[in-house]
Structure 1
Amino acid sequence: MNFNFDLKEIFTVFMVLFAVIDIIGNIPIIIDLRKKAGHIQSEKASIIAGIILIAFLFLGKSILNLIGIDVSSFAVAGSFILFFIALEMILGITLYKEEDTNPMTASVFPLAFPLIAGPGSLTTLLSLRAEFETGNIIIAVLLNVLLIFIVLKTSSRIERLIGQNGISIIRKVFGVILLAIAIKLFATNVKILFT
């Protein structure tokens, strides 16, 4: 397998994934999860998210085809998850059961999946694979995972820096953005499903 290292490709893929994963916008959710669980295992969450993203890059389409699900159906299902997370952020309600949240599970679900390695980022990876060199995509994924780890590790410092009011404002603003992404993901893929 030939690998053509291309800095421009890596940067483009990194920026696309960074926008879709939106780890900065997820800081309020991370802080909420940390409060519910008491502690989040940053290394575990980052590594699991990275493994899911890279595995899906290679096996995604085959796995979905194997179980008889097309990419559009997967994206529509993912849009519902994003929709409910956005509602939690905007309305300040809790849909995710608090008693199920502990450091072991919170680091995997809902943090590593579906928040970081969610339907949005997974479907994005499938479309990026058609356009860019696989090796460059892997490097971009690893750079995103490193950034995710840094944000997860420093989320309490970021919380202190921004303050409670700042977090509340960011939470609502990014909740609306996440809601818009969910609706766009839904609308785009529902059209594909019914044509």
Structure 2
Amino acid sequence: MAPNILGTISHKINVARLEANEDASPLDLTTAGDFASKPPGVLDLFERSVFTTDKQVTPVKAELVPNGIEFYFSGGNAAAKTFTWKLYAWRNENGPAKYAATGTGELGTQALVKYPHDPEAVATNKFWADKIVITWHNWPKEIETTDEDGNSNSVGSLWMDDAGYRYWWIEIADADGSTGTEAGDVAVWWSYW
């Protein structure tokens, strides 16, 4: 009997947004929805540096053959802190921004012990988001979350078919830590299959 062979490729978790306070200048699609106006730090799935770091020497060829993309959130200084997010994508260098989805997140109790992109950097009082809720989306296929209730107290994620889009931006808001419920600094991670 022939063995079952799955066609899903496993990839590392990479940085989509370094840990930082909420975005001070939200993307305004009424004046800046073109490719040239995209924010600095937009994730380019063809940029080789997003797949490797000084500490991570295994090269990975960037290609859009895999069609699934998954985002994870971490941050804060305590569990149950909240934030909101907006997801944008650009197909190519001459296209408009596609406002794909928006939602909320809440940090769970699973600690971020070491940062995925730098296994020597210890994370202190940082937590993975477990509760991720989609409040609106405009995408050719469904956008899913792994835990909308926050009952898992594990790593939650937002995942979708990337539909051939090459550039990605996740904007973080309502996380400046100015109230007791906000998450403070938030990082976004990504992987694909």
Normalised-by-shorter TM-score class = under 0.3
Q: Which has the higher contact order (CA 8 A, sep 6+)?
A: 1
More strand by share: 2
> What's the TM-score once normalised by structure 2's chain length?
0.27
